[in-house]
Structure 1
Amino acid sequence: MKTVIVIGGGLVGALHACFMAKRGYKVDIYEMRDDIRTMEVVRGRSINLALSVRGREALRRVGVEDQIVKFGIPMYSRMIHDRDGKRRPIPYGKKDEYIMSIDRRHLNEILLTEAEKFPNVSTHFEHKVVECNFSAGTVTFQKKDGSSVTVTADLIVGCDGAYSKVRQEMMKKTLLDYEQVFIPHGYMELNMPPTPQDKYAMEVNYLHIWARNEYMMIALPNYDRSYTVTLFMPFEIFKTLTTENAVLNFFKDNFADSIPLLGEKALIETVIKNKALPMVTVKCSPYHVKDRVVIMGDAAHAMVPFYGQGMNCGFEDCIVFADLLDKHEGDFAATLSEFTSYRSIDAKAMCDLAFYNYIEMRQSVNSRLFLLRKKVDNFLFWLFPNTWIPLYTTVSFSRKRYHECIKNKEWQDKVIQRAMYLSIPTFAVAGYYIYKYLERLDVPIYEKLVQLAENFRPDQKW
């Protein structure tokens, strides 16, 4: 029986253990932290998750999709909160297409429990990686009591997050290209409790967004009728919110409608006592070392959370890896090599898309041109459903490779641009002949058109 060590008992690690266990491998999960199922509070990992097609397919393959989604909240649209308190929805796709708000901890607990149901899976908590020997296939761990243990396996899988120790070991001992970028914006999490009637404080089936160009706030619904609210903005602005008046005035100016829902006292206390946390993008290559080691999820491609694809991308890693194992009949060397070449191009593309979507969420949703383009895309999607598929639809509601999603969007942009170039002279010529024709007619319609043209204002309502 082949043996697999999965380092990291988070979302991707626990799921990948299920995939490997289904193949009959002996799997050992090693996690640096304590078992989250026994912890009262899990810190630093609480941004809500948006589960979409890629992630759901991975969960379906190990038989836990139904168990997960029954505690999820569908979100069919963005709900934009303007400064004046008005709200306007922007649908994600068709009426039956939605992403799902999922509680990170609950999902992680279910996946760990599911992994432990396999008789060939063992879990080991409070084991910190000290060293990896890639040639021998060994990993040395330090336990909570200070003692160490060295274990051997046919395959070592690093699913230990954006600050991966396995990746650090790869960087020391192999030629690994690596790029890490911290964006100048941080995040802080707030809580919007249920109403006194134990109902949601806002419309439930939406991802709520307060888009303020330079920064934004979002809110995702939870199963317990609360909202997880996250404020994203430059660290320099966070640093100014050090007094009660500064916090209250900032929220009154930017997010006034949220204050009574968050609770003024709780809001001030949370912002003053907590520090904004950083967000990092990680790109690297290769993802493997010979036939012994591979990294997946955030260890291979950490991304900012603005497209809701971090978890979905990591879960899709598990699908791609399993499919390649099938293709190569369990040959680790061939599988790992193709996993790097196949997956790295898509993961890097998704990292770029994730950052691009931050600009869209905090700024573009306020643009009339952006909203017009969304309507054009949706109309063309309705007209040519197999040809013109919007970017968000391909990313969130399909398994189309991420880099192909970008190529598809670039093609659409060129088509729109060329259509505009062609339409301007076409309308100009048509307008000229219509004008000359009406000029020869002694009818009131011509006078009306001239009057409208003379009195036209850009903000005029028709």
Structure 2
Amino acid sequence: MGERNEAVTVVGAGLVGSLLSVFLARRGYSVEVLERRPDMRREVIDAGRSINLAISTRGLYALRQVGLEEEALKHAIPMRGRMIHPPKGALAYQPYGKDDSQHINSLARAWLNKFLMSAAEATGKVRIRFNQRVTQADLATGSLTVLDEASGQERQEAGRVLFGTDGSGSAVRQAMEQVPGFAATQEQLGHGYKELTIPAGPGGAFQMEKHALHIWPRGTYMLIGLPNEDGSFTCTLFLPWKGPVSFESLDSPAKLEAFFEEQFPDAKALIPDLTEAFFARPTGGMVTVKCAPWRVGDKALVLGDAAHAIVPFFGQGMNCGFEDCTVLDGLLEQHGTWADVFGTLERLRKTNADAIADMAVENFVEMRDSTGSPRFLLEKAVEKALLNAFPGEFVSRYSMVSFSRVPYRLAYEVGAIAGGIVSELSEGLTRAEDVDLGRAKQLIQERLVPFMKEHADGFRTQG
């Protein structure tokens, strides 16, 4: 599978590119990484545009393969469920899993990216070059035209195997668009996002529940908050770009203050610089990218957001990209040709990446709208009752996506079956405790068990 010490190029030193470089270096490859931005370990860049990460089983498994999980978890905060903040009235807590052992983890994106860059360099096989913009890629030969943005000098880089991990606006993917038969779609979400901060209280105290992902669901829009190591919360406001309640409509400090006072009064009380931060920080956009193929022969491959950018509402963008790296590493173990490895990776990952992209959009509707409804709360409680009453037989989509390595496509399909069972059993109920477990067992045996038996191989891929 390529010669040991073969030199390869990775475009993009973000989360996926940095982790991929560690995997490649451990296999003996010499890796040059070209990163468009300055070195974030030495300069502050892109402040105010980082939705916190929720790392879960798939991402942690990838880090474990290269010995980095333990250190990452030292900087992570377990989030055991959602804390729902209604406009008025009591908070409502929704656990993520069957018990507290099933949780996702809040992790600062900038910390993790710096950690992975340093881990890549520590292999002695990875060289990261910053301020390097790829302006052209000849995918027939793998050669690149690169602009050094610090010096203004442009140069040619000789052809070698090329990995594009350069995000949703990938230069490598754009070069692939010139190849006959390549197709890409980009769907912009009608919502943007703005980052705000709830600072730590006195002595670094958390001013809200530390071990929860906080959500203020309001129908067509929402606010979320994730805990940080220092006691603060990174909050993200998701609003339509245009419309009666939108980034366009909140065009003055007075309108913004009134909006928060009406919709998010408890959050407003904890954000001291609301107006200043809102108007000073950029508004980010969100896009779903799907493309095919992901490769050009044995010359180039796109991974992570470059191949499959997804919206952030299932907390799986990074986890999915890290899983790409895990699968690639397993294929390198088998020592095929690059063309074999690239082709097999795309076959294994494309359908799963499409599935999580669709689930992420669906979860946006659930988070901003359904989480506040009594029916949704009842169904979640019934789902938890079934998870505990029928371990190994009843599974939920959320638990499979977040707490296992079952392929996303299977999780999507099983989730539809399991959701139908929960919906049926919830009809006419006012309390989850009254669910008919006899009927539940019958439905699970009729609908879920046969499907899981049919796809048994996929369900063995547990984290």
Q: TM range, normalised to the smaller chain? A: 0.7 to 0.9
The percent of aligned pairs where both chains have the same amino acid is: 39
* Structure 1 residue 330: Cα displacement: 4.2
1:321 counterpart residue number: 328
- 2:139–2:175 Cα contact (<8 Å) kept: no
* Structure 1 residue 418: Cα displacement: 6.6
TM-score (norm 2): 0.88
Give unmatched runs, 5+ long, in structure 2: 430-463
Q: Does 1:124 align with 2:129?
A: yes
1:405 counterpart residue number: 411
* Structure 1 residue 131: Cα displacement: 1.4
Judged with a 3 Å threshold, the aligned counterparts in structure 2 of structure 1 residues 96 and 38 are, in CA distance, closer, same or farther, namely same
- Whole-Å separation in 2 of the counterparts to 1:91 and 1:413: 17
* Structure 1 residue 413: Cα displacement: 3.7
* Structure 1 residue 43: Cα displacement: 3.4
2:310 counterpart residue number: 303
Judged with a 3 Å threshold, the aligned counterparts in structure 2 of structure 1 residues 45 and 250 are, in CA distance, closer, same or farther, namely closer
- 1:4–1:153 Cα contact (<8 Å) kept: no
AA partner of residue 280 (structure 1)? V
- Whole-Å separation in 2 of the counterparts to 1:37 and 1:275: 22
Please give the secondary structure, in 2, of the residue aligned with 1:135: coil
Q: Does 1:239 align with 2:260?
A: no
- 1:3–1:153 Cα contact (<8 Å) kept: no
Judged with a 3 Å threshold, the aligned counterparts in structure 2 of structure 1 residues 381 and 341 are, in CA distance, closer, same or farther, namely same
Please give the secondary structure, in 2, of the residue aligned with 1:217: strand
Alignment partner for residue 42 of structure 1, among 35, 42, 46?
Answer: 46
- 1:294–1:336 Cα contact (<8 Å) kept: yes
- Whole-Å separation in 2 of the counterparts to 1:320 and 1:12: 13
1:363 counterpart residue number: 369
Task: Please identify, of 131-140 and 96-105, the stretch whose mean Cα deviation from structure 2 is larger.
Answer: 131-140
Q: Does 1:294 align with 2:298?
A: no
* Structure 1 residue 273: Cα displacement: 3.3
Considering only CA atoms, is the larger Rg found in Structure 1 or Structure 2? 1
AA partner of residue 193 (structure 2)? Y
* Structure 1 residue 95: Cα displacement: 1.8
Please give the secondary structure, in 2, of the residue aligned with 1:238: coil
* Structure 1 residue 274: Cα displacement: 3.5
Judged with a 3 Å threshold, the aligned counterparts in structure 2 of structure 1 residues 45 and 112 are, in CA distance, closer, same or farther, namely farther
1:168 counterpart residue number: 174
Deviation string 1:261-289 (CA, Å, 9 cap, x unpaired) is: 112xx101222334422111101111001
1:88 counterpart residue number: 92
AA partner of residue 97 (structure 1)? Q
Task: Please identify, of 127-136 and 352-361, the stretch whose mean Cα deviation from structure 2 is larger.
Answer: 127-136
- Whole-Å separation in 2 of the counterparts to 1:308 and 1:368: 24
- 2:379–2:426 Cα contact (<8 Å) kept: no
- Whole-Å separation in 1 of the counterparts to 2:154 and 2:241: 39
AA partner of residue 283 (structure 2)? A
Alignment partner for residue 145 of structure 2, among 132, 140, 154?
Answer: 140
- 2:84–2:93 Cα contact (<8 Å) kept: yes
Q: Does 1:199 align with 2:205?
A: yes
RMSD of the TM alignment (CA)? 1.8
Q: Does 1:75 align with 2:79?
A: yes
Deviation string 1:133-164 (CA, Å, 9 cap, x unpaired) is: 22222122111222222223541000000000
Judged with a 3 Å threshold, the aligned counterparts in structure 2 of structure 1 residues 63 and 55 are, in CA distance, closer, same or farther, namely same
User: Which structure features the higher share of helix residues?
Assistant: 1
Q: Does 1:251 align with 2:266?
A: no
Q: Does 1:333 align with 2:335?
A: no
Aligned residues: 420
Deviation string 1:378-415 (CA, Å, 9 cap, x unpaired) is: 12211221121111100000001001001101222444
2:353 counterpart residue number: 347
